[in-house]
A = this chain, B = another copy of it.
Amino acid sequence: MPTRRQFLHGASAAILSVSVVSRVQAASLPEAPSQTKPQTQPPPLPANGPSYNPVVTLNGWSLPWRMKDGVKEFHLIAEAVVRELAPGMKANLWGYNGQSPGPTIECVEGDRVRIFVTNKLPEHTTVHWHGVRLPNGMDGVGGLTQSHIKPGETFAYEFVMKQSGTFMYHPHSDEMVQMAMGMHGFLVVHPRDSKRYRVDRDFVFLINAHDIDPGSMTPKVNTMLDFNLWTFNSRVFPGIDSLVVRKGDRVRIRMGNLSMTSHPIHLHGYHFTVTGTDGGWVPPSAQWPEVTIDVPVGAMRAFEFVADEPGDWALHCHKSHHTMNAMGHQVPTMIGVEQQDIAKKISGLVPDYMVMGEKGMADMGAMEMPLPANTLPMMTGQGPFGAIEMGGMFTVVKVREGLARNDYKDPGWYKHPDGTVAYRVDDKRA
């Protein structure tokens, strides 16, 4: 990834009309940083423009920008990427700037932004700014509000951010396929007054799903219901970073769902309220206490709580199949069945068949099974007290006492091969 310095000084663009960018103009496009790591990256601090408290994108990153005559300029590259879903499994996806989901775009209420989109996909695309109030021509619906962006072309979207909130971006062009392939990202507009809606920790992630056959790398884009990899920001447990907060922090978690079904996200140990949607902030009079928030498809939910009880608190989708990795959903139950002979016969017919023990499936969390290449165990993960027996949409909110200011170390108990997990700590409280 290029340094911020390279990014901010590497190019000087002419003022561009909002339209497809010509070859001559392309020479002056802002740089498009690319990300190679699937781990959570510390967000860039606001070096120019109004100040704000950055969000932390779970297993993601925020896109740097340049300031050009008072306009924040971003550059997205729509392209094929390889995304690591968890150590041991990679997927061929489509995304932006090296990853899927794409980088989080952060700006401030009142900002004028110009977002260049360069299409390096084999087919045309557009970008729709889900939830943003903007002029019709900037809405990104191919055929309806603009021509599709052809392969090799760059389109410049430009508009003023009228309201703070949490939005998303994704194509509106061959939409089912491009979203199934992983093209989406978060767009956070911070309040102009940074004291409004202030929290100490602010996490964002997308909820999505893929259908990738064991031993395969490419999602089946026509799947409507029977997905087998349920992901937070296109990562599965135990590949999802934990959310580390200090005891006493006010915490906000913002989740957008771009899968094909609603996901009831359950947090252990706390009662919380939904404080925002992709339509704006929820007034206090309308807030409900919840422990599970059902995030509809094509919607965002932000919820908040004060982390006053230390410990390791599970955060997961409550549909129990969504906390499992790839498995066959038509497999018969073997509880109470003597199955030595049957198992041999079935394995002959179905190569990826996993036999469920006569006593339930708990053995699977601990056992080592021979798996096809590029395939994750169905249920896995080690905790301080043994096998966690989970997969998919599962992670842990770690509430810790005595975290130092800007302590970016993860005090976690399970190991990431590529280690560093960074979270910004609010200066005012440390």
Contact = CB atoms under 8 A, between A and B. Distances in A.
Given A123-B360, A269-B133, A260 B388 contact: no
A17 to B, nearest CB: 17
Contact of A389 (B143, B291, B324): B143
Contact of A278 (B277, B292, B384): B292
A25 interface: no
Copies assembled: 3
Interface string A266-298: 101111110001111111011111111010111
Interface residues of A, number: 115
Interface stretch (A33-41, A168-176, A192-200, A342-350): A168-176
Q: For the complex, would chain A's binding face be called helix, strand, loop or mixed by DSSP majority?
A: loop
Best-surrounded residue of A177, A223, A280, A356 (most CB of chain B within 10 A): A177
B260 A173 contact: no
Interface stretch (A53-61, A69-77, A308-316, A402-410): A308-316
Interface string A176-206: 1111110000000000000000000000000
Contacts of A224: 226, 321, 329
A19 interface: no
Given A298-B318, A333-B219, A313 B139 contact: yes
Nearest to A332: B220
A311 B180 CA distance: 28
Given A262-B296, A268-B128, A330-B222, A177 B289 contact: no
A260 B142 contact: no
- The listed residue with most B CB atoms (<10 A of its CB), out of A137, A329, A330, A360, is A360
A294 to B, nearest CB: 3
A121 interface: yes
Contacts of A321: 176, 224, 260
Interface string A330-356: 111101100000000000000000001
Contact of A365 (B146, B174, B285): B174
B123 A357 contact: yes
Contacts of A324: 176
Contacts of A223: 329-330
A234 interface: no
Given A145-B385, A176-B361, A264 B299 contact: yes
A147 interface: yes
B333 A268 contact: no
Interface string A225-239: 110000000000000
Contacts of A124: 362
A319 B260 contact: yes
Nearest to A327: B222
A218 interface: yes
A283 B174 CA distance: 40
A144 interface: yes
A254 interface: no
Interface in A133-172: 133-137, 139, 141-148, 163, 172
Interface of A: 92, 121-124, 128, 130-131, 133-137, 139, 141-148, 163, 172-181, 218-226, 260-262, 264, 266, 268-273, 277-283, 285-292, 294, 296-299, 309-314, 318-321, 323-324, 327-333, 335-336, 356-363, 365, 379, 381-390, 396
7 contacts: A121-B360, A141-B383, A144-B388, A222-B333, A262-B294, A273-B279, A285-B285
Given A177-B356, A224-B321, A285-B285, 5 more contacts: A139-B269, A142-B388, A143-B389, A145-B385, A176-B361
